[in-house]
Homo-oligomer: A and B are copies of this chain.
Amino acid sequence: MIDDLPAGLTARHPVEEDHARVLGVLDAWWGGLKGQAGALERALLLPRLYFQHFTTTGFLVEGDGGEVAAFLVGFLSQTEPDAAYVHFVGVDPRLRGQGIGRVLYRAFFALAGSHGRRYVHCVTSPQNTASRGFHTRLGFTESAVKADYDGPGLDRVAFTLDLSASPLSRG
């Protein structure tokens, strides 16, 4: 499905049973950020419905032993026929620096393009400088900080990539 992952890793579309497995690694990958409250926040951001109803545009990457190595949850906009959206992406911190996140985004770009989508959107927290740098290097255009974007106190920066203008979309 994705042929440019590092050796030992394979990708497939997720299934419902992967939901608990992905939630199970999030706390470790996020370094337990904000403790129990943080774990609840991450679970609420990633309800089971994404692993039931938006699986065909998502990816789960597993290692040789079947362990979760990375994932991408995204969907096609039902409002905007030219848009797709990346909702949540994670890579095992022990596997960072190998371009796995970039490979997953490029696979999503190809899928979105195959469905006639031109724009890919996503958001991140203003404090997440690693995520902001990652998206900018991928070719996303970053918005100014939008206060209370996802609710009171939930500031976000929004990213947009025009697949028709990006060399990465051909990757």
Q: Is A145 engaged at the interface, CB distance under 8 Å to the other chain?
A: no
Report the minimum CB–CB distance from A97 to chain B (whole Å): 29
- Pick out which of these stretches binds chain B: A49-57, A98-106, A162-170: A49-57
Q: Is the CB of B76 within 8 A of A78?
A: yes
> A41 an interface residue at 8 Å Cβ cutoff?
yes
Size range of the chain A interface in the assembly: 35 or more
In the complex the two chains form, is A41's CB within 8 Å of B44's CB?
A: yes
Q: Mark A62-96, 1 if CB is under 8 A from B, else 0.
A: 00000000000001111110010101000000000
Instruction: Determine if A47 and B49 form an interchain contact, defined as CB atoms under 8 angstroms apart.
Output: no
A48/B78 in contact, CB under 8 A: no
Which A residues are closer than 8 A to B by beta carbons? 20, 23, 37, 39-41, 43-49, 52-57, 75-80, 83, 85, 87, 121, 123, 148-154
